[in-house]
Chains A and B, each alone.
Chain A
Amino acid sequence: MGRGEMAAEVNRIDIRFPARPENVAVARAAVASAASVLPFTLAEVEELRIAVSEAVSNAVLHAYGPEGGEVEVAVEVDGGGVAVCVADRGRGIADVERARRPDFSTLEGHLGLGFAFLAAMTDELEVASEVGRGTRIRFVKRPQAEPGEEPSGDAAGGA
């Protein structure tokens, strides 16, 4: 993408797979694995996995009809955090603002709850969607070193 020397600083991994339920776990594992070089706490890693799960589940459940389609996940890891982009070429979301509304009372609908979790688990969240063209969900997660917490940036630590 013409980033020149930035490419040396950013570890970018692209994966592409059919929009099938069994691939949600694959995406979770791939992103968590790529992000394991960062000093995330266990809780933050879990939040990252949940965010990936919600974004990919949205594509699996809502993007395509019975004919199916593909989901693309791009993971970019640099020193500051991990950025994840989940894209499909499906039917799109007519009212993104409504879908994103963090309304925990809409527990019937997976969509509302999923987006609410996505927002709660991430530091940045962008949702772009066009009806008939597809949806792109991009989020960023950064390690938060909390005061008083055990520093986990120890170079000797290799879990």
Chain B
Amino acid sequence: MRIETGREGDRVVVRAQGEIDVRTAPGLRRALDEAVAAGGGDLVVDMAAVTFLDSSGLGVLLGRLRRMPPGRRLVLRRPRPTVRALLDLAGVTRLVAVEDGEDGPGRNGG
């Protein structure tokens, strides 16, 4: 898995690429924790290139959700249909904003 962190305005965007499982989840956890610690606004996880997600990766996302500082949101961007299905099954999409737009804030269900 490859992870890149960048900025879009005051948003911190973490792009993950590849499979998120028990081996790669710790790297994602570190990247997200660093992104939050660096300050800024919402934390956007761009999942367009995430080809696999299981409970290990889901645990990382939910753990970060719980630890988000007040006033900052966790946003999941463009999950693929197979990944989205797991997020739906686990109820994550009821807790976290999901953006489907190509780029920019776009629409999301608050």
List chain A positions with a Cβ less than 8 A from chain B: 21-22, 24-25, 28, 42-43, 46, 49-50, 53-54, 57, 60-61, 104, 107-108, 110, 113-114, 117, 120
Contact = CB atoms under 8 A, between A and B. Distances in A.
29 contacts: A22-B23, A25-B19, A25-B21, A25-B23, A28-B21, A43-B85, A46-B52, A46-B82, A46-B85, A49-B52, A50-B54, A50-B86, A53-B21, A53-B22, A53-B54, A54-B54, A57-B54, A57-B55, A60-B22, A61-B22, A104-B90, A107-B59, A107-B90, A110-B55, A110-B59, A113-B90, A114-B55, A117-B54, A120-B89
Nearest to B53: A50
Contacts of B86: 50, 117
A131 B60 CA distance: 29
B22 to A, nearest CB: 4
B25 to A, nearest CB: 9
B48 interface: no
Interface string B17-55: 001011100000000000000000000000000001011
Contacts of A24: 21-23
Contacts of A120: 89
B59 to A, nearest CB: 6
Nearest to B59: A110
A135 B81 CA distance: 32
B91 interface: yes
Nearest to B82: A46
B68 interface: no
Interface in B49-107: 52, 54-56, 58-59, 62, 81-82, 85-86, 89-91
Contacts of B56: 53, 57, 110
Nearest to B83: A46
Given A21-B21, A53-B54, 13 more contacts: A24-B21, A24-B22, A43-B81, A46-B82, A53-B22, A57-B21, A60-B22, A104-B90, A107-B62, A108-B59, A110-B55, A113-B55, A113-B58
